[in-house]
């Protein structure tokens, strides 16, 4: 009888001990998970900028971008790529990231390689404000942070001012004459301000998704009221002036040619560059 009582007491003590140890381990694990911040490498300037706004300490690797040169917030963060060269995978791996973010199409091979090594990746495709809002929410959720709404940090793009009944054409290059249609980031921003993009419905194929080829004859026939030209590195307005019908366009005659930076309207780039593009669109 005494042996049975002693045996039952031992079982109770052991059960209690195991439960206590399990609770302690779970508590430690929960605390560890809670305290450890995700280490994230951003292969694009836009994702790096978003992460810096959501959780700066989580950003451990960034692309080399002219957008970061004068921003001291990025001074001490390792650079994992330069220009349009592929990211340095060895450097990325050495940063021991929990997540690597890249652009669909451009970073597919790098992301696939990192995935095969057991590193989580996220491929992004941003062609609208809705896409950007979704990415902003995804990153906030992963980092367990409740930041300001996208509309709050992109005030210029959610302006109540609407430019109705004004048509535009955006020229990204002169040889060939490339222009964004409705499936591009630029096309979405333009429609957001209720501007009529004359190239919106054109669907001829080019190597650049969301962009179409225009002919000088089409420009002359369409006679856009406003022309938005993109200033890319190493180019200026003179490249467009070389188009043989340039001086015959009403927008040129009426001084309705607006120069936009590449970052903001064509490549989203960063929150600041997007805001600047939206400010200029609202002034047309």
CATH number at 126 reads 3.40.50.1980
Residue 160 has a pLDDT of 66
Does some domain include residue 8? Answer: no
Apex CA 232: angle with CA 254 and CA 104, to 5°? Answer: 120
Domain holding 180, by residue range, is 157-282
pLDDT of residue 15: 38
Strand-strand pairing, 211-214 and 177-180: antiparallel
Per the structure, how many domains does the chain have? 2
Of 240, 261, 260, nearest in space to 252 by CA:
240
pLDDT above 90 (res 269): yes
Last-in-domain residue among 153, 173, 205? 153
pLDDT per position as a tens digit, 102-143: 999 999 999 999 999 999 999 999 999 999 999 999 999 999
Whether 139 and 220 share a structural domain? no
Mean pLDDT of 13-33: 39
> Taking residues 12-29, what's their average pLDDT?
38
- 235 & 278 share domain: yes
Taking residues 226-236, what's their average pLDDT? 86
Q: What is the pLDDT of residue 163?
A: 64
Inter-residue contact 201 to 182 (CB < 8 Å): yes
Maximum Cα interatomic distance, the chain, rounded to a whole number of Å: 111
Q: From CA 196, how far away is CA 194, in angstroms rounded?
A: 6
Q: For the residues 208-229, what does the mean pLDDT come to? A: 95
Indicate the helix (H) or strand (E) that contains 79: strand 79-82
pLDDT at residue 7 tops 50: no
Residue 36 per-residue DSSP state:
P
Q: pLDDT tens-digit profile of 64-110?
A: 998 998 788 999 999 999 877 889 999 999 999 999 999 999 999 99
pLDDT of 23 reads 42
Residues 136 and 230 placed together within one structural domain of the fold: no
Pick 204 or 122 by higher pLDDT: 122
182: helix, strand or coil: coil
pLDDT, mean of residues 254-269: 96
Strands 99-103 and 196-197, by their bridges, are unpaired
Is residue 146 one of the residues assigned to a domain? Answer: yes
Q: Domain ends where: 153, 175, 203?
A: 153
Query: Has residue 185 been placed in a domain?
Result: yes
What is the pTM for the complete model shown? Answer: 0.84
């Amino acid at each position: 009888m005494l042996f049975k009582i002693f045996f039952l007491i031992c079982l109770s003590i052991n059960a209690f001990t195991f439960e206590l140890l399990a609770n302690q381990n779970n508590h430690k694990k929960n605390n560890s998970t809670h305290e450890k911040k995700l280490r994230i490498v951003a292969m694009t300037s836009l994702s790096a900028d978003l992460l810096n706004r959501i959780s700066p300490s989580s950003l451990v690797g960034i692309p080399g971008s002219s957008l970061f040169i004068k921003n001291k917030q990025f001074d001490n963060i390792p650079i994992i790529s330069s220009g349009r060269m592929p990211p340095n995978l060895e450097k990325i791996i050495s940063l021991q990231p929990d997540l690597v973010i890249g652009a669909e199409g451009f970073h597919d091979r790098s992301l696939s390689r990192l995935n095969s090594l057991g590193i989580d990746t996220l491929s992004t495709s941003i062609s609208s404000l809705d896409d950007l809002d979704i990415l902003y929410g995804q990153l906030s959720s992963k980092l367990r942070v409740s930041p300001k709404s996208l509309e709050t940090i992109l005030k210029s793009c959610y302006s109540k001012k609407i430019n109705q009944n004004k048509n535009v054409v955006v020229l990204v290059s002169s040889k060939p004459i490339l222009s964004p249609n409705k499936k591009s980031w630029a096309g979405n921003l333009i429609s957001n301000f209720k501007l009529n993009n004359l190239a919106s419905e054109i669907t001829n194929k080019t190597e650049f998704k969301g962009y179409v080829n225009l002919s000088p004859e089409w420009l002359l026939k369409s006679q856009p009221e406003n022309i938005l030209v993109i200033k890319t590195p190493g180019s200026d307005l003179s490249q467009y002036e070389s188009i043989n019908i340039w001086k015959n366009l009403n927008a040129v005659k009426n001084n309705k040619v607006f120069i936009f930076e590449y970052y903001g309207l064509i490549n989203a780039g960063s929150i600041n560059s997007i805001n600047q593009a939206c400010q200029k669109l609202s002034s047309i």
